[in-house]
Amino acid sequence: MTPVPDHYRGVWARRLLETPQQRDEHTFVRWLQTSLWHADLRIPAMAPGTDALLQLASQQGFCGVTQVAHQASGEVCTWQRRLDFQPPRADVDAGLMVFEAPERVIETGVHAPYLEIWERLPDSTGPYIALAGLDEAGGDTQERFLVAGRYAMHVRPRCMAWPPGTQAGQTLVDVVVKHPEHAVALLDFEISFGTLEVGQWTVESSTLPALKGACLPMAVHQRNATQAAIDSPVCGGHWQILEWTCSERRL
């Protein structure tokens, strides 16, 4: 795949979402982009009186690879989701991107009417790292760990498959309401965002509320050209290097 242009890389905070139905300036949204890989986390503000499980089910987040194409209308960014907190989409996740400034981009929907304003966080450019979790046999666990500058995101998908009958375009709230006996397993999907500095992983927000605010020791180091290791009480172990755009062998 072709790497995304440099001006996309880093961590972007969404400042505004506008659709025909809503205007949202309160959801916590972070999009981390390396040269190929992305991870995205969206935590809505707590609505008073909402059932706790349904509130958790309304969270969003995904991880995968990103493609940018130059079309007559401008640059179109497509996020190919390999892992998704929500059920599969019914359409392609693609947006027309207009950079008002190097640190500010306006996204409008290609397949749906919406507008989003994104601003890049300071200190989020370089190094860029993307790792895939490995099991004892060397197989891909589908776990991902991404780094951009001082920021990192950890993505661990749920073990449970979608219940029979789940259709593209449904929401996780729909699935949890229909299958309440599987609610805990369906919600066991971690996407955590925070900083990785001076050997410490500080979680700013997560789909698992118990992790929010956690400060844990962590070291990420390159073992060779294809493998890395993470030393930490969480997500520790062996990882395959998908990308290591960094002069340092240890973070």
- What's the pLDDT tens digit per position in 28-54? 999 999 999 999 999 999 877 889 999
Q: How much is the pLDDT for 34?
A: 98
CA nearest to 176, candidates 91, 82, 63, 55: 55
The C-alpha atoms of residue 52 and residue 239 are separated, in whole angstroms, by: 34
Question: pTM of whole model > 0.95?
Answer: yes
Q: How much is the pLDDT for 93?
A: 97
Instruction: Give the list of residues 6+ apart from residue 133 with CB closer than 8 angstroms, or none.
Output: 140, 141, 142, 143, 144, 145, 156, 235, 237, 239, 240
User: Per-residue pLDDT tens for 76-107?
Assistant: 999 999 999 999 999 999 999 999 999 999 99
Q: How much is the pLDDT for 192?
A: 98
User: Per-residue pLDDT tens for 61-71?
Assistant: 999 999 999 99
Does the pLDDT value for residue 124 go beyond 90?
yes
Q: What is the mean pLDDT of residues 127-138?
A: 96
Q: What are phi and psi of 17, to 5 degrees?
A: -125, 130
Domains identified in the chain and CATH numbers: 6-120 (2.40.128.320), 128-245 (no CATH)
Percent of the chain with pLDDT over 90: 93
The C-alpha atoms of residue 39 and residue 129 are separated, in whole angstroms, by: 12
Q: How much is the pLDDT for 250?
A: 85
The C-alpha atoms of residue 225 and residue 215 are separated, in whole angstroms, by: 29
Q: How much is the pLDDT for 12?
A: 98
Given 3-state DSSP classes, what are the helix, strand and coil percentages for the chain, each rounded to the nearest 5? 10, 50, 40
* CB of 23 closer than 8 Å to CB of 16: yes
Helices marked H in 24-182? 52-57, 172-178
Does the pLDDT value for residue 173 go beyond 90?
yes
